Chain A
Amino acid sequence: MNHSISLTVNGARRDFVLDDPRVTLLDLLRERLHLTGTKKGCDRGQCGACTILVDGKRINSCLALAISHDGADILTIEGVARGDQLHPVQAAFIAHDGFQCGFCTPGQIMSAIGMIKEAQAGNDPERIRECMSGNLCRCGAYAGIVDAVLDAQGQMDESNQRRSA
């Protein structure tokens, strides 16, 4: 039986006909939309490489059935920059060497964007490490990742203050 669903992906409405309900958001993004920035690491919710924002919240897209998220608003790594202007978190990962091989990086960046929105960690590196523990990095770039998140969060706070001033 076919199921029709629609999603908003990086600001654009997308309609899909699913001939099988087994497809995850991760596979839908990669196989149907060819948005391969979202990575399939473990595919079991353990590594965080597939992290995306769904309705503004970071989740593991490998453990989310697409069919269950009919109507959802999805943000992937492909949707965070504005043209050539990188998102502050992307720029901070480059500035602080927050990666080595880069495979976990899209998930790290999406997780960091979600974490900054959650506003639970403040500028405490220990809380940032705890709040980012769902993203594994086999290269061990964690020190750079924490620095990048701290820096980006500070910049985003400043720019929010300027905007509201």
Chain B
Amino acid sequence: MKSFDYVRPATVAEAVAAAAQPGAVYLAAGTNLLDLMKGDVSRPDRLVDVTHLDGLDRIETLADGSLRIGALMSNADLAHDVEFARSYPAVAEALLSGASAQLRNAATVGGNLLQRTRCAYFYDTASRCNKREQGSGCDAREGENRGHAVLGWSESCIATHPSDFCVPLVALDAVVEIEGRGGRREIALDELHRLPGDAPERETMLEPGDLIVAVRLPPAARAFASHARYLKVRERTSYAFAVVSATAALRIESGRIAEARLALGGVAAKPWRARAAEDVLRNVAPTVDAFQEAAWRALADAKPSGDNAFKIELARRIVVRALLLAAAGTPARIPALPASPFASTSGAIHA
């Protein structure tokens, strides 16, 4: 690991000033950053430790009914908050399907959003990677790429964003609150991550010094609580990243879908909101036919980036099944194997 300067700011303003310097990065729990630094994938000159800042580790309900989640809250504390899990069950299920209990205890809300891809070529400093080293090339393109992107990728980069948490968040129109050199601003989570294009080294819309201080769920996000699921296919049942995942959330009135939300994980460089699919699910009955039509819409633009054509068909099936699970209703308790299609209580047959 390269040596670095360690800075522990007392206030958000001090943190922003310290992190705006070239070569500086924020340190929260470090569960991804330290791994990257040990592998020489990340080589920061300065770590700005935000873990001692006050007031960023709690949930608050705002006057308009929004929920504001402090960026330093741990993934576990958020998922295990009973009121949170009841109001946003797909978000809690996604959180509990990610990483391990130890990592969820440490990892923060803000850090989860900003975790880096797990593309093996990004991690291997002997490989070419445009994301790690601008303009060097992409060894994933002709390499082991069955886990790579099928949506929104470019010849420069076919990496995926690994977060589970972000998938239901983007479906529920989460907003990210940012403190930066120009003061506070906010952007939709859907706008935070960039698709690779010809600049995969630029992963987010954040500028130097920008600090995510909170994630906000708008009042409407609660309306999906009784029909919201996260479903995740992985190479093993626990402690693995998604091959493909999906959040389906429905607002059902008088037996018809009043509003649907759908997002996919493991398929692109960002959590993938499927708005075209949502549109065909407005004011229709929650039937398998409708869900299959939505699945086709969701993957209409998908194309393999290598040996991963299977992910397109897998994603369609995961979408149908997540919608069936959501239509069947949120279970009273998160299943023993969160988000697993193999859970004994998954509640729906294979689509």
Q: Specify the chain B residue showing the minimal Cβ separation from A22.
A: B1
**Chain B interface extent, by class:** 20 to 34
User: Which of B27, B100, B102, B337 touches A126 (beta carbons < 8 Å)?
Assistant: B337
- Expressed in whole angstroms, the Cα–Cα distance for A138 and B8 within the complex equals 39
A67 on the interface (CB 8 Å rule)?
A: yes
Q: Is A96 engaged at the interface, CB distance under 8 Å to the other chain? A: no
A35 CB within 8 Å of chain B? no
Say which residue of B3, B105, B239 sits within 8 Å of A20 (CB atoms): B3
Among B5, B29, B34, B237, chain A packs the most CB atoms within 10 A around the CB of B34
In the complex, 8 of the A-B residue pairs with CB atoms within 8 angstroms, ordered by the A residue number, are A1-B5, A24-B34, A45-B34, A45-B103, A57-B76, A64-B29, A130-B336, A133-B101
| Closest 7 A/B residue pairs (Cβ) | A134-B100, A133-B238, A21-B6, A126-B336, A133-B239, A57-B105, A59-B106
Is the CB–CB distance between B34 and A63 below 8 Å?
yes
Q: Given A126-B336, A134-B239, does the pair A64, B102 have CB atoms closer than 8 Å? A: no
Are A22 and B4 closer than 8 Å at their CB atoms?
yes
How far apart sit A115 and B80, CA to CA, in the bound complex (Å)? 13
Residues of A in contact with B (beta carbons under 8 Å apart): 1, 3, 20-22, 24, 43-45, 48, 51, 57-60, 62-65, 67-68, 70, 111, 114-115, 118, 120, 124, 126-127, 129-135
> Most A CB atoms within 10 A — which of B39, B100, B238?
B100
Additional pairs, 15, CB under 8 Å, beyond known A60-B103, A127-B336, A130-B336: A1-B5, A24-B34, A44-B38, A44-B39, A45-B34, A45-B103, A57-B76, A57-B105, A59-B103, A59-B105, A60-B106, A65-B30, A65-B47, A70-B52, A118-B76
Whole-angstrom distance between the Cβ of A6 and the nearest chain B Cβ? 14
By a CB distance below 8 angstroms, the chain A residues around B105 are 57-59, 114
Distance in angstroms between the alpha carbons of A30 and B238 in the assembled complex:
29
Instruction: Given the known inter-chain contacts A20-B3, A127-B336, A130-B337, please indicate yes or no for A45 contacting B101, CB distance below 8 A.
Output: no
Which residues of B are found within 8 Å of A3, using beta-carbon distances?
Answer: 6
Contacts A21-B47, A48-B102, A58-B102 given: A63-B6 contact, CB under 8 Å? no
B-chain residues with CB within 8 Å of residue A24 when the two chains form the complex: 34
Interface of A is mostly: mixed
CA distance A21 to B5 in the complex (A): 8
Does B204 reach chain A (CB closer than 8 Å)?
no
- Chain A residues within 8 Å of B29, by CB: 63-64
B31 beta carbon closer than 8 Å to chain A: yes
Determine whether B162 belongs to the interface, using a CB cutoff of 8 Å to chain A: no
Q: Which residue of A lies closest to B4 (CB)?
A: A21
Contacts of B210 in A (CB 8 A): none
A43-B38, A63-B106 known; A131-B101 Cβ under 8 A? yes
For the complex, is B254 an interface residue (Cβ under 8 Å from A)? Answer: no
Q: Does the CB pair B337–A111 fall under 8 Å? A: no
Minimum Cβ distance to chain B for residue A68 (Å)? 5
B100: min CB distance to chain A, Å: 3
A94 to chain B, nearest CB (A): 23
Q: Bound complex: CA of A21 vs CA of B336, how far in Å?
A: 39
B51 within 8 A of A: yes
Known: A3-B6, A45-B31, A68-B27. A130 touches B338 (CB 8 A): yes
